[in-house]
Structure 1
Amino acid sequence: MSGALVPLGAAYYPVGDVQKTKSYAFLLLKDFTLLAFSAAIEPFRIANQLSQKPLYRWCVVSEDGRPVRSSSGVEIAADAALASVDRDTVLFACSGNLAGGNPAKSTLAFLHRHFRTGGMVGGICTGAVSLAQAGLLEGRTFTLHWECHPGFVELFPNLPPSKRRFEVDNRILTCGGGAAAADMAISIIRKDHGDAFASVVADMCLLRDDAGANLGQRTSIGAALHTRNPGLIEIVKLMTDNVETPLSMADLAEKVGYTKRHIERQFQRCLGVTPARFYQNLRLDVARGLVTETNMTLFEIAAACGFNSKSYFAKTFARRFGHPPSRVHHRRRASGEKA
């Protein structure tokens, strides 16, 4: 790994003597998310710039040392191949979908060996998929992008991801991607150099310094629905938590202490849709994610989303999205074969 980059800048914030420059390697996997990758690096660059000291250094690696194409189509050159990463370097896997960039078995073996010999590993956006495939997440607290949670749980039923923006579990660091990658990097800087310095780094990133790990990845249900109605929010939460085995209207009414008629009126008044249709659409949205991101059969997806009939599932899917699930399924398989 080359020396640390210490660029000049107008802003300055002094820190103490640097005992050792910390090293990070970012393993780019096919279709990685460019936003999350750059958001993870920039706070370290800003820390060096503010302090005018080599606090951090980083490099970009790929499985074979060749450039890697991001999900936006932009290719990023690698500094070296994965095999060049030493044990003292924190190794982050960067990917952008539930396939996790389809890392080679040798890559998963390297991740496993790096951790088992004392190294730190991490996952950015959906990088946790690679860590799970490498057998590193059992009994760990971790996260990945919320969009991939349903599919991840289907693939790894014994590995429930956290809904928080990022997680630090001893030598395993994971984040949900996007701005959460910067939040995680700033938390590392805070631990290394204190609150005041980390706050200035956050200011330079134009980020709120209180956007820590304890915040969820998604907007609250109430904010998303544009309502403060506690009963309605509770019902939607129950629906969200019960996709595979949908609750009946009678069950929902009993759990929140409302009549079925009152629930129907609240949904129509606040959301302009019946509770039954809202619940069905919610399950179909989960199903679309599974169709797009997993290799599950349509029968398995229908069952996982509470549809007893594959034909009825296909009919309602087409009504919501304008095309049958088989079209997305076939398109995904075709693109996978080309890759």
Structure 2
Amino acid sequence: MERHVMLINSLIKWIDGNLDKPLKIKSVADKAGYSQWHIQRIFYQVTNKNIAHYIRDRKLELAAYDLLESHETVFQIGLKYGYDSQQSFTRTFVRKYLIPPATFRKMNRPPARSLQSRHCLPTTRLAGPTVNSSTFSRDIESLAAVKI
């Protein structure tokens, strides 16, 4: 299992570094040196999320960040993250965040001269282990029985 955790950690770093490119499960499997089926099984076992959903969610997070920090249009941001049209980008964004990208931008953009922090930027949470730049570990604890 430890070997799988290290493999998935390195794959996540690689995926995150290549989100500006079209990423397919085949390219991730090739990078890992496993079949598509096997790498998806390992990825899900470690993260409780499939590869395609992870890639989509990370691209949407970056798109949400760009909506707040750039002056690119919604259409340009959608194209940047691999969507064919503003409609498909908006549909996917709404499915995840329950709000259209243009509305998200308006609601979360601070007033012109303000340095307020932004608390509404969405993030991905992986089930199971916590992922950060230096570690990827899972601690298993035994808990006392609880009567409900």
**Smaller-chain TM-score bracket:** 0.5 to 0.7
**2:94 alignment partner in structure 1:** 318
In the alignment, the residues of structure 2 paired with residue 307 and residue 239 of structure 1 have an alpha-carbon distance, to the nearest angstrom, of 17
**2:130 alignment partner in structure 1:** none
Contact between 1:243 and 1:304, CA under 8 Å: does it hold in 2? no
In the alignment, the residues of structure 2 paired with residue 337 and residue 303 of structure 1 have an alpha-carbon distance, to the nearest angstrom, of 30
Structure 2 residue identity aligned to 1:326: A
Which stretch of the first structure deviates more once superposed, 317-326 or 276-285?
317-326
State the Cα distance separating 1:334 from its structure 2 match: 8.2
In the alignment, the residues of structure 2 paired with residue 237 and residue 334 of structure 1 have an alpha-carbon distance, to the nearest angstrom, of 31
In the alignment, the residues of structure 2 paired with residue 327 and residue 336 of structure 1 have an alpha-carbon distance, to the nearest angstrom, of 17
- Structure 2 residue aligned with 1:284, among 28, 35, 60? 60
State the Cα distance separating 1:333 from its structure 2 match: 6.3
SS of residue paired to 2:13: helix
- Structure 2 residue aligned with 1:239, among 15, 25, 29? 15
Contact between 1:239 and 1:246, CA under 8 Å: does it hold in 2? no
The aligned runs of 1:1-339 (5 Å cut-off) are 229-331=5-107, 335-336=111-112
Contact between 2:4 and 2:42, CA under 8 Å: does it hold in 1? no
Contact between 2:29 and 2:39, CA under 8 Å: does it hold in 1? yes
SS of residue paired to 2:22: coil
Contact between 1:243 and 1:306, CA under 8 Å: does it hold in 2? no
In the alignment, the residues of structure 2 paired with residue 336 and residue 300 of structure 1 have an alpha-carbon distance, to the nearest angstrom, of 23
State the Cα distance separating 1:246 from its structure 2 match: 2.4
Contact between 1:302 and 1:308, CA under 8 Å: does it hold in 2? yes
CA change 1:274–1:304 in 2 (3 A) is same
Structure 2 residue identity aligned to 1:241: G
In the alignment, the residues of structure 1 paired with residue 14 and residue 22 of structure 2 have an alpha-carbon distance, to the nearest angstrom, of 9
In the alignment, the residues of structure 2 paired with residue 281 and residue 258 of structure 1 have an alpha-carbon distance, to the nearest angstrom, of 23
Write out the 4+ residue segments of structure 1 that deviate beyond 6 Å after TM superposition: none
Question: Percent identity at matched positions?
Answer: 25
How many pairs are equivalent?
A: 114
State the Cα distance separating 1:242 from its structure 2 match: 1.3
Contact between 2:68 and 2:109, CA under 8 Å: does it hold in 1? no
**What root-mean-square deviation, in Å, do the aligned CA atoms of Structure 1 and Structure 2 show?**
2.6
State the Cα distance separating 1:337 from its structure 2 match: 9.5
RCO greater where, 1 or 2, for CA within 8 Å and sep 6 or more?
A: 2
In the alignment, the residues of structure 1 paired with residue 103 and residue 42 of structure 2 have an alpha-carbon distance, to the nearest angstrom, of 36
Deviations 1:237-276 (A, max 9, x none): 2211111222211111112101111111112212112110
- Higher CA-based Rg: 1
Structure 1 residue identity aligned to 2:66: L
Structure 2 residue identity aligned to 1:281: D
In the alignment, the residues of structure 2 paired with residue 230 and residue 337 of structure 1 have an alpha-carbon distance, to the nearest angstrom, of 44
SS of residue paired to 1:266: helix
**1:57 alignment partner in structure 2:** none
